Amino acid sequence: MRLLAKQWRNEDTRIRIPAGRWVVLAALASLALWPSPLRAGPDQADSSPHIAIAARMAGDDNRVRLVLDFERLPDFELRYLHNPYRAVIDLPQTVLAFPEDSLTARGLVTAVRYGNSGKGRARLVFEFAAPARMDLVETTEEISGAIHRLVFDAVAVDDAAFAAEVANSVWTEAGQAAADAQSADPSDGSLKIVIDAGHGGIDGGAEGPAGSSEKNITLAFAEAFKEALEDVDGVDVSMTRTDDRFLSLSARVRKAREEDADLLVSLHADSIAIRSLRGATVYTLSDKASDALAQSLADQENRDEVIGGANLENAPEAVAAILVDLARAETRVFSAGLARQVIDSFEGQVKLINNPLRHAGFRVLQAPDVPSVLVELGYLSNKEDEKLLTDEEWRRNTAQLLAQSVRNYRKTILANRR
């Protein structure tokens, strides 16, 4: 079996698409579409990300075959973990661009997780029903001119053989992370979170029956949330706005990307037509709204862009759009993970709307590479909610719970890394 040494890079791995850099992206896309003249071998320092274009799994309780297709062959590291039985494949800077349903658990493989959970690498985790080993059975240098393939067979082995694989798994990255931390690089586990207080300046947002303004509620909450996060280890916080100013939705997204954020949490307290409706709701991005309420809120929020007279960013070229979509698919996995954590920590403590986990096309959630959620803390159209939203104690408690959900989210990410 060929096990390639891992290349360590400290630069950012995720596709970043600042406005006006579409040319670079288009060039990157062309690498995916045509045979690369660079022919990056394992030792070549090509800094553009790898792209996993397709993935498949097939098999039964004794053997499962995993096929990964790349636009050029990456280095990888394969390691094992006990409790549960797991194999971990670490890749360098890679966009996992295959459709979400490509790797569904089957037979011997009971769960599959993957994503760009940290800087500089992508990870695939396979959980087994029984002790198993991932044998690399084929490394195809090139198929029909452009595709490079890795084929693994997960085969059931006995406990002793699995224990030997675990013992042989050297987790060099722990040492590497420590070294990085010493050289003033952020440590492996640090999470950069950007808090976005909705609305501001001429855009006041919703207004409550007693006259409170959404833009003030979101800013006060953002400050309380920031304070609560200061008690959470390994979290680095910044805010899109710290005063009463107008910011376009794309400026907010841009800020999160410029800050190299791992998370964007956008805070709102909107009005809805049904005045009796109250409680918190957590939204993630989707092209298709989960329901009419989510749709109307997204429409309402996205109109803010027009209020400020800001230009919408130019629509990306088709080829770049494909890459953005691909990066977005894995970002969504993380966004959904965070949204779940928020609901879990609110449960029983903060009043939640029915089906509190919803999705819609909120423009502020549209960074392709920053996991993002929008939290409606409550609805200003409801009198009781307005009272809570302006109550300092409620704000402090709820901010603590939200900080707790970020702590839990970070824990699950670190667990998947290790």
Q: Which residues bind Zn ion (CB under 5 A)?
A: 198, 205, 268, 270
Closest CB 191 distance from Zn ion, rounded Å = 25
* Residue ranges in 133-205 assigned as alpha helix (H): 159-168, 172-182
Closest CB 301 distance from Zn ion, rounded Å = 6
Closest CB 203 distance from Zn ion, rounded Å = 9
* Residue nearer to Zn ion on the CB measure, 241 or 268: 268
Answer yes or no: are the C-beta atoms of 105 and 154 closer than 8 Å: no
Q: What CA–CA distance (Å, rounded) separates 29 from 51? A: 10
* Residue nearer to Zn ion on the CB measure, 136 or 307: 307
Closest CB 214 distance from Zn ion, rounded Å = 5
* Residue nearer to Zn ion on the CB measure, 49 or 205: 205
Tokens in use for 386? Answer: 């307005």
Closest CB 198 distance from Zn ion, rounded Å = 4
Q: What CA–CA distance (Å, rounded) separates 227 from 214? A: 20
Residue 126 host element (H or E) = strand 121-128
Of 398, 370, 379, 418, residue with least CA distance to 297: 379
* Residue nearer to Zn ion on the CB measure, 268 or 407: 268
* Residue nearer to Zn ion on the CB measure, 86 or 255: 255
Relative to beta strand 191-197, strand 263-268 is parallel
74 SS3 class: coil
Describe the crossing of helices 318-346 and 392-417 by its angle, rounded to 10 degrees: 120
92 SS3 class: strand
* Residue nearer to Zn ion on the CB measure, 266 or 408: 266
Tokens in use for 40? Answer: 């990056």
Closest CB 295 distance from Zn ion, rounded Å = 15
Closest CB 302 distance from Zn ion, rounded Å = 11
Residues 6+ apart with CB under 8 A from 195: 222, 225, 226, 237, 238, 239, 240, 265, 267
Closest CB 38 distance from Zn ion, rounded Å = 46
Answer yes or no: are the C-beta atoms of 104 and 55 closer than 8 Å: no
* Residue nearer to Zn ion on the CB measure, 29 or 297: 297
Q: What CA–CA distance (Å, rounded) separates 186 from 182? A: 9
* Residue nearer to Zn ion on the CB measure, 121 or 268: 268
Answer yes or no: are the C-beta atoms of 306 and 402 closer than 8 Å: no
Q: Which residue is nearest to Zn ion (CB)?
A: 268
